[in-house]
Amino acid sequence: MNREKNVAKALLKTGAVKLNVAEPFTFVSGIKSPIYCDNRQMIAYPEERAEFVREFVEKLSTKDYDVLAGTATAGIPWAAFIAWEVKKPMSYIRAEKKDHGVGKQIEGANLKDKKVIIIEDLVSTGGSSIKAVEAAYEAGAKTVEVIAIFSYEFSKAYKNFGDKQIKWEAISNFSTLIETAKEEKYLTEAEAKIASEWNKSPDTWGR
């Protein structure tokens, strides 16, 4: 079994993936979706959580980096788990600068002149991840890339990251999830077809 499928199976087993065609979910980006992946649930499951951390550590084993940075809030626990495992400094990046105190957007390790890997829970259009990358560069980071738990594999995400020349990847993805969901009987063929149709044109689906 490939590594991406292991992650997909864990997401399905724990109920982190939900499907509702009648009452679609709404993403932060405004996209209506019949499928929703809530990776925040995964911190409640020690066995599956450890599996995810192992997958991240495997990805990181081939990379040259100084600091791990979690996106607030969903990326923070994962960055903490992974940073503990690989014995690296950690920081976290808010969506915006604080409007009080000293107005910091980044807490923890100093990113100046550092090679940074941002840990994200999921990527839809890539907007929030790109904001975090830009904040890291503003703080003086030398290089920045993103690793997420899950990607919806939207063409818009590939374009957005590509336009900004940002390297990114995920330890599992939509196509693997749907295929695994069918195999494991979490989705019927009809439901999987609806989800796949949505994935091809998420901006207009259901309208």
Q: Which domains does the chain have, with CATH numbers?
A: 3-200 (3.40.50.2020)
Which pLDDT score is estimated for 28? 78
Intervals of the chain under pLDDT 70: 1, 100-102, 206-207
Contact 150, 10 (CB under 8 A): no
Q: Which residues contact 40 (CB under 8 A, 6 or more apart)?
A: 74, 121
The helix (run of H) or strand (run of E) holding residue 158 is helix 155-164
Which pLDDT score is estimated for 22? 76
Q: Is the Cα dihedral 198, 16, 42, 174 positive or negative?
A: negative
Which pLDDT score is estimated for 18? 86
Which pLDDT score is estimated for 102? 65
Give pTM, 2 decimals.
0.93
Contact 79, 70 (CB under 8 A): yes
Which pLDDT score is estimated for 191? 85
Task: Kindly state the greatest CA–CA separation across the chain.
Answer: 53
